[in-house]
Every structure is written in structure tokens, then in C-alpha cells.
């Protein structure tokens, strides 16, 4: 894959055409866009950046015809439409690729083509940028934040370790509860890395858990996770384990990545969540500026993030009381207009880590957005059926856009297909269950 990257750099750098960069609006996509923008700026290239929620057919058809197109953290699922364009196209992406013959004007950097380790979009973009100019090694921190944002930090291979070695980070082993650098009561209350019954979303529940663990305030405040001693950490883990019905806590133990950001150490998971929050609440410009190191953007991002966490708590409370469509090893939660379509994916991810659903359960969430419905699907425990293939098969029959990974995928359909989608999805899920 690195050889492919090296072969593409001279051709891209030598051309004088304007470059239009289109990137996904999640943390991985925003970090990818910030890395590429910095790299192109250092080469004094004429370029523009566009952040999109989803690469729909209409967006592709309206792209400029007289420039180089570069897609970051997306594009692999849209090759059928991209094949119709005459532009010189570069795709730096890690999503699964359909079996389709590509035109010569399309160049793809994707681990699936080389059977290599699954690097996120930001890591791939960083490797590309580093080949463009060794000065871009200072962008490795953004690649790590993107990696954490896509939850790919647990299976790091040779290339991933190279990126980590380039970054300014400190790695500590511990409970994957973020922010690891902020007071524990707030980290527990707004936890989206793990769903703790009676604690997540409840300030009183968080304080009660800390009392059960024998962890009190010091100098008027609770310690942060990284300030706990070994005994306190053990007591906290035990208290959480009891609340999670003896779920294997090993799933929530791992590396805590503290990255240098604005000249201080920050929890990469917290930064990832903040970037994600800005985009989910339609402020991707703020997220992008934050990644570029803009201090004013950081203040705005912190306010947006606080607002976003309230949205999440409200959404989780709605999901806990609403009627669900449940079957063997699957649950469909149609929230209609009650949860923003930009947040429904995060809700699905939190539920997939909840002790309420056994490993392998397919969790499908739905949210309305004008005349469309956004569907986000996750596999509890990230181990089970290929949910992307299930969504692909339904969308192929009723129309729409789909993509993602085996354990985390999504699609976009017309609202008038809602009933048909649910019925067909139920049939597909039952068929997949029989296969398993």
C-alpha cells in the first residue's frame, strides 16, 4: 500500500489543477480533511474543502468538472457513480469496496485492496501527507485522534505503530472512560464509551457510584481517571462491573491516549467526541477549525459539545421508553423525529456497548430528516453477522445509499419507503440468523 501511495504523489503534486477535497463529517473524516488541508497548503496548492454527511448521488453529479477530486474517509461505496466522472479522482478510504471495474482516472488507497491492517481514513491520509512532505509528521496527532474516533486503536499493526511513534502522545493502560483528564463524576455521567445503567445520564447516579467505590472529593473536586491510584482504580472497576450485570470489564480496559493539543495533554477520546459533536450538530466548520489549531474554535467546540451531551442523554432516555421491534438477536428502534438524524449513529454505538444487549445482537436505529430516513446499525460486541451486507441487500431492492463496515454500517432511504424498509429488513435479519 505504501508503494501505491508513493507512486501517486509525484503525479498529484506536479499538476497545477485546483483540488476539491470531499471528506466525511465524522471525527475520522474531519481529521482527514485537516491533515490534507495542511499538507496541500504547505505545497501552496489551490484547493477547497467540502465536508458531507453522506456521499449521495446528487452530490457527486454536482461536483465541479474541471478539477482534481479527492475523497477522504468515503468514496469506496460510491464507485458506481464516481465511475461516470471524467475528473482525475483520488480516494483515500478504508470502507469496504464493491466488486466493480474502475476507470483509469480513479486511484484508490484502501487497505481492503492490499489485505493489510485496517487503518482509519485519518491514518491513511496521514501516510499520504507524510509522503508528500516529511514536514507533515507533525500531523500524526490528528491521525491518532481519527484512529480513536473510529475505534480502531485496539488492533494496531505495524503501520499503526509507525503513526503512533510519530505522534506526541503518552499512552497509559486503564479504564476506557473519557475524558480521562476531567473529574470522574462528569466522566461517568456523560459516558458514551460505556453505558452504565443508573449512572450514564444521571449526575446523582454518578456520585452514588463513586460513593460505593469509596472515592470521595479531594480539595473540593473529584479526581480524574488518570489521577487514581491502583487501589482506587480497582474499586471503581468493581463498582462499574456490579452495575453492568457482571459484563466482562476487559472489553473496557485498554490504552488511554493522551495527545498534545493546544500545548496541553488531552484525552484523544474526548477530543474525538468533541469533534464528532460539532459535526453532528451541523457545525463541521468549527470541528475543522479546531483540528487546524484555532483557539476560538476550541471555545466554540466546548460549548457545542456540552449541548451535544444533553442531546445524547435526552436521546438515550427516549430510547429506553419507546416501543421497539424485537426479534431473535435483533432490535429495530424507529425514533422518527424524536432524535436528530446526525446523532442516531452515536446512540446506536452506545446501545451496542450496553449490557442490555447480548453480543451479536443487531441494533438498527432510524431517524427522520425531512424526506429521508437515516439508518444506523451496529453489532453488539462488534462480533456477529455482517450488518453492512444486510443493509446493502435491502437498499438494493428499495433504493437509497448504504455503506460502512461489517459491524457498523448505515444507509439513507426515502421516507415513503419506511414501512417497506422495516418489513424487508426484518425478513433479511431472520434469514441471516438462520445462516448463523
432 pLDDT above the threshold of 70: no
Specify whether 176 is located in the same domain as 307.
yes
Range of the domain at 75: 2-137
Specify whether 175 is located in the same domain as 307.
yes
Map grid coordinates 476531567 to a residue. 182
Does 158 reside within a domain?
Answer: no
Does 95 reside within a domain?
Answer: yes
Contacting residues for 376 by C-beta, under 8 A, at least 6 apart: 344, 345, 347, 348, 364, 365, 410
Measured CA distances, 162 to 84, 111, 239 (Å): 37, 16, 37
Domain with residue 355: its CATH number is 3.10.310.40
Map grid coordinates 449512572 to a residue. 199
Specify whether 338 is located in the same domain as 300.
no
pLDDT in tens, 242-260: 887 655 667 678 888 999 8
Does 98 reside within a domain?
Answer: yes
Specify whether 11 is located in the same domain as 124.
yes
301 pLDDT above the threshold of 80: yes
266 pLDDT above the threshold of 50: yes
* Cell numbers describing residue 406: 461489517
Its pTM stands at 0.79
How far is it, in rounded angstroms, from Cα 56 to Cα 75? 10
* Cell numbers describing residue 189: 455521567
- The SS3 of residue 413 is strand
pLDDT in tens, 269-286: 889 989 999 998 999 999
How far is it, in rounded angstroms, from Cα 51 to Cα 58? 15
Specify whether 250 is located in the same domain as 340.
no
Residue/partner pairs of 232-240 with CB below 8 Å, 24 or more apart: 233/174, 233/175, 236/175, 236/184, 236/210, 237/175, 238/213, 239/209, 239/210, 239/212, 239/213, 240/175, 240/194, 240/196, 240/199, 240/209
Over residues 9-30, the mean pLDDT reads: 92
Specify whether 304 is located in the same domain as 349.
no
Q: How many domains are contained in the chain? A: 3
- Could you give the percent of the chain with pLDDT greater than 70? 96
435 pLDDT above the threshold of 60: no
pLDDT in tens, 113-146: 887 788 999 999 999 999 999 999 999 999 999 9
Specify whether 75 is located in the same domain as 182.
no
How far is it, in rounded angstroms, from Cα 192 to Cα 183? 15
* Cell numbers describing residue 32: 482527514
Instruction: Centre a 10 Å sphere on the Cβ of residue 25 and count the other Cβ atoms it contains.
Output: 24
Please state whether 263 falls in left (phi above 0), alpha (psi between -120 and 50) or beta. Answer: left
Over residues 141-153, the mean pLDDT reads: 87
- The SS3 of residue 176 is coil
Burial class (CB in 10 A: 0-12, 13-18, 19+), 328: exposed
Specify whether 302 is located in the same domain as 346.
no
Among candidate residues 92, 114, 137, the one where a domain is terminated: 137
pLDDT in tens, 365-413: 999 998 999 999 999 876 778 999 999 999 999 999 888 888 899 999 9
Burial class (CB in 10 A: 0-12, 13-18, 19+), 358: exposed
Does 120 reside within a domain?
Answer: yes
The overall average pLDDT reported for the chain is 89
How far is it, in rounded angstroms, from Cα 348 to Cα 353? 9
pLDDT in tens, 328-378: 889 999 999 999 998 999 899 888 877 788 889 999 999 999 899 999 999
Q: Are 240 and 196 in contact (CB under 8 A)?
A: yes
Specify whether 72 is located in the same domain as 191.
no
Does 30 reside within a domain?
Answer: yes
Specify whether 257 is located in the same domain as 307.
yes
Going by their DSSP bridges, the two strands 106-109 and 19-24 should be labelled as unpaired
How far is it, in rounded angstroms, from Cα 214 to Cα 195? 21
Specify whether 298 is located in the same domain as 328.
no
Q: Are 126 and 139 in contact (CB under 8 A)?
A: yes
How far is it, in rounded angstroms, from Cα 198 to Cα 209? 9
Among candidate residues 283, 311, 339, the one where a domain is terminated: 311
Specify whether 194 is located in the same domain as 73.
no
Among candidate residues 118, 137, 156, the one where a domain is terminated: 137
Q: Are 304 and 312 in contact (CB under 8 A)?
A: no
Measured CA distances, 341 to 273, 335, 337, 345 (Å): 17, 9, 8, 8
**Counts for the chain of helices (H) and strands (E), in that order:** 16, 14
Closest CA to 149 of 273, 311, 258: 273
Q: What is the pLDDT of residue 191?
A: 76
How far is it, in rounded angstroms, from Cα 349 to Cα 297? 27
How far is it, in rounded angstroms, from Cα 361 to Cα 95? 22
261 pLDDT above the threshold of 50: yes
Domain with residue 122: its CATH number is 3.90.1640.30
Does 164 reside within a domain?
Answer: no
Does 417 reside within a domain?
Answer: yes
Does 246 reside within a domain?
Answer: yes
Side-chain-side CA neighbours of residue 82 (13 Å): 28
Q: Are 353 and 195 in contact (CB under 8 A)?
A: yes
Amino acid at each position: 500500500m505504501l508503494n501505491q501511495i508513493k507512486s501517486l504523489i509525484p503525479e498529484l503534486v506536479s499538476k497545477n489543477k485546483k483540488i476539491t477535497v470531499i471528506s466525511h463529517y465524522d471525527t475520522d473524516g474531519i481529521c482527514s480533511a485537516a491533515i490534507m488541508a495542511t499538507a496541500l497548503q504547505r505545497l501552496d496548492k489551490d484547493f477547497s474543502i467540502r465536508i458531507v454527511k453522506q456521499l449521495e448521488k446528487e452530490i457527486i453529479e454536482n461536483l465541479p468538472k474541471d478539477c482534481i477530486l479527492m475523497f477522504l474517509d468515503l468514496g469506496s461505496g460510491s464507485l458506481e457513480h464516481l465511475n461516470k466522472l471524467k475528473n482525475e479522482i483520488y480516494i483515500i478510504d478504508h470502507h469496504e469496496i464493491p466488486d466493480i471495474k474502475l476507470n483509469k482516472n480513479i486511484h484508490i488507497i484502501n487497505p481492503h485492496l492490499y489485505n493489510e491492517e485496517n487503518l482509519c481514513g485519518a491514518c491513511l491520509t496521514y501516510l499520504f501527507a507524510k509522503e508528500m512532505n516529511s514536514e507533515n509528521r507533525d500531523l500524526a496527532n490528528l491521525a491518532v485522534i481519527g484512529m480513536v474516533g473510529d475505534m480502531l486503536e485496539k488492533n494496531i499493526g505495524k503501520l499503526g505503530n509507525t503513526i503512533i511513534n510519530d505522534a506526541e502522545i503518552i499512552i497509559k493502560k486503564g479504564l476506557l472512560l473519557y475524558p480521562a483528564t476531567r473529574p470522574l463524576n462528569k466522566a461517568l455521567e456523560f459516558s458514551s464509551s460505556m453505558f452504565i445503567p443508573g449512572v450514564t445520564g444521571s449526575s446523582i447516579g454518578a456520585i452514588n457510584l463513586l460513593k460505593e467505590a469509596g472515592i470521595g472529593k479531594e480539595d473540593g473536586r473529584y479526581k480524574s481517571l488518570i489521577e487514581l491510584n491502583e487501589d482506587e482504580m480497582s474499586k471503581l472497576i468493581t463498582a462499574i462491573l456490579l452495575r453492568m450485570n457482571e459484563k466482562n470489564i476487559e472489553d473496557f480496559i485498554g490504552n488511554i491516549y493522551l495527545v498534545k493539543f493546544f500545548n496541553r495533554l488531552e484525552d484523544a477520546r474526548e477530543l474525538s467526541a468533541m469533534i464528532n459533536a460539532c459535526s453532528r450538530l451541523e457545525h463541521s466548520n468549527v470541528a475543522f477549525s479546531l483540528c487546524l489549531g484555532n483557539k476560538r474554535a476550541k471555545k466554540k467546540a466546548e460549548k457545542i459539545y456540552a449541548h451535544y451531551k444533553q442531546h445524547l442523554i435526552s436521546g438515550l432516555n427516549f430510547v429506553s421508553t419507546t416501543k421497539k421491534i424485537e426479534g431473535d438477536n435483533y432490535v429495530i428502534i424507529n425514533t422518527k423525529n424524536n432524535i436528530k438524524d446526525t446523532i442516531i449513529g452515536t446512540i446506536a454505538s452506545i446501545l451496542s456497548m450496553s449490557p442490555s444487549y447480548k453480543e451479536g445482537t443487531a441494533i438498527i436505529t432510524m431517524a427522520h430528516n425531512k424526506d429521508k430516513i437515516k439508518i444506523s446499525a451496529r453489532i453488539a460486541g462488534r462480533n456477529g453477522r455482517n450488518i453492512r451486507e444486510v443493509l446493502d441487500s435491502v437498499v438494493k431492492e428499495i433504493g437509497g445509499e448504504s455503506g460502512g463496515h461489517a459491524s457498523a454500517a448505515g444507509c439513507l432511504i426515502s421516507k415513503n419507503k419506511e414501512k417497506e424498509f422495516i418489513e424487508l429488513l426484518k425478513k433479511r435479519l431472520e434469514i441471516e440468523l438462520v445462516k448463523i
